[in-house]
Amino acid sequence: MQKAKETGIRCLLLALLMVIGVFAGVFTPRRYALAAEDFRTWRQLDERWGNTAMGGTTVRKSGCYITSIAMAAVASGACDTKDFDPGVFAKKLNDMGAFSSGGALIAWASVNKAIPDISIATANLYFKSSDQKGKAAEMKEYLDKGLYVICNVGGHWVYVDGIIGDDVYMADPAKDEIMMFKAYNNASITCFQALKGKNPYSGFTPLTIKEEVSETSSITALSSTTTTATATVTTAKAAASSSKTTTATKAAVTSKATSVSAVKNSAAVSTAKTAPNEYMAGEYYCTAAEKVDVFADMKDQKTSIAALEYGNIVNVVSVSGSYGEVKIGGKKGWIDLSKFEYAGTAQDLEAGDINSDGSADKYDLALVNEYITKSEKLPEGVSVLTSWEIKAADLSGDGVINNTDVLLYLMHICN
């Protein structure tokens, strides 16, 4: 009798917590890692760990911070990509109850508990400078002390790979661009944190830069610098394993990089004119840091019928070049697909198991609550879950995700 009473109380408390609480995600990044052997190409939405739970959310939705820390852990030699990745890190933290319901770290000290050889050395350090030169100098000061740096860019966290002059090279859990101040508006770059690793920070070897040029250009995989003019690059010998960054890099760089491809060997390679991206119809995640307009006319981009935010999901019904046709709020529109990431083909998920972790639990319920809350504000045709995730969440089978499904989740969890 007493046990039944205690169970009832727990269920009631859980119901109140789940119905009242709003578990919001942060960023929805790239679905696939470009190359698992280089930690700098880790993406939150990699299917190997994107659905790993973080409190009441997932790495896919809210894992930019821990992914950036995971990069620093590997860069310092504290971990190795053979047996460590953002999913492993998230699971360790989740198992020790380190996350809040919204996926935030309750205590920074939990990082050191999960990875003994790395720790957060500072609180958020807000920039004193307002321009790129000053901000780069402030972060470089900590790199020169042998610390590792992660930076907040409009609420999103990235790993600072290195700094050359005023150029800040980053590894972004959300996308492939590596030049921070080109990828993000200066005003949105607000603060950073320094981390202490197993070995002091000693420099970096930039990722291979994929330049869109009309002529054939020669690049060296390890120095990873391609320019349309002449550039001099000198690097120390890189470690054979790409899972660790221990080389110091001194370079004079005259070009700006916008996208990357993984370094797979140390041989010099030749690249011809970059082939255009091939897009297809299907569901896409918005991955732009700033709002993206949906234009009524693809050619005359003056009238916007809607604006999409980072993490929004839309269904592209047809493709014309680099633009995709969508239907939002009953109106036909077009989006620039270079600012979106293909969500992949539909998956057959088990009923209730939205994050595909093998069970329908409180983490899935948190995603359902987020979906219901966001759906009240988003126009028709825009979502925060894919169609196959919505199908899995529809426990009642009535084609609508609502409080009925919430109650069914609660009943399942309590039982």
**pLDDT at residue 12 in the model:** 52
pLDDT score of 214 more than 70:
no
Domains of the chain in start order, with CATH, are 2-21+346-414 (1.10.1330), 282-342 (2.30.30.40)
The arithmetic mean of pLDDT across residues 397-410, rounded, is: 91
Q: What is the mean pLDDT of residues 44-49?
A: 87
Q: Report the pLDDT averaged over residues 267-295.
A: 68
Dump pLDDT digits (tens) for 120-156.
Answer: 999 999 999 999 999 999 999 999 999 999 999 988 9
Listed range (18-22, 239-243, 285-289) with the worst mean pLDDT:
239-243
Whole-number pLDDT of residue 10: 56
Contacts of 7 (CB under 8 A, 6+ apart): 414
- Give the other-Cβ count within 10 Å of 356's Cβ: 18
Inform me whether the pLDDT recorded for 4 exceeds 60: no
User: Do β-strands 268-271 and 189-196 pair in parallel, antiparallel, or remain unpaired?
Assistant: unpaired
Encode pLDDT of 95-122 as tens digits: 998 988 778 888 889 999 999 999 999 9
Average pLDDT score, the chain: 78
DSSP string covering 358-408, please?
A: SS--HHHHHHHHHHHHHHTTSPTTEESS-HHHHHHH-TT-SS--SHHHHHH
Provide mean pLDDT across the span 220-241: 31
- Tens digit of each residue's pLDDT (9 = 90 or more) over 229-239: 333 333 333 33
* Residue 176 reports pLDDT greater than 60: yes
pLDDT of residue 249: 38
* Segment holding 136, helix H or strand E: helix 132-144
Q: Higher model confidence: residue 361 or residue 21?
A: 361
Assess whether pLDDT exceeds 80 at residue 183.
Answer: yes
Contact 45/16 with Cβ under 8 angstroms?
A: no
- pLDDT at position 13 is 53
Strand partners, 195: 120, 148
Q: Sorting pLDDT into bands at 50, 70 and 90, what band is 75?
A: very high
Residue 166 φ/ψ, nearest 5 degrees: -100, 0
Give the pair of three-digit tokens for residue 402: 């609502």
Average pLDDT over residues 383-402: 91
Percent residues over pLDDT 90 in the chain: 47
For 46, 333, 386, the CA distances from 58, given in Å and listed in that order, are: 12, 30, 14
In this structure, what are the phi and psi dihedrals at residue 198, rounded to the nearest 5 degrees? -60, -45
Span 257-275, average pLDDT: 35
Predicted pLDDT at 404: 92
pLDDT greater than 80 at residue 20: no
Q: Give the containing element (helix H, strand E) for 412.
A: helix 403-414
403: nearest Cα among 363, 377, 375: 375
How far separated are the first and last CA of the chain, in Å rounded?
16
Lowest-pLDDT choice from 7-11, 71-75, 181-185, 221-225: 221-225
pLDDT cut 70: percent of the chain above it: 74
37: pLDDT confidence band, cut at 50, 70 and 90?
low
Residue length, the chain? Answer: 415
Q: pLDDT tens, 332-383?
A: 999 999 888 888 888 888 998 887 777 888 778 878 888 888 888 899 999 9
Question: What's residue 271's pLDDT?
Answer: 30
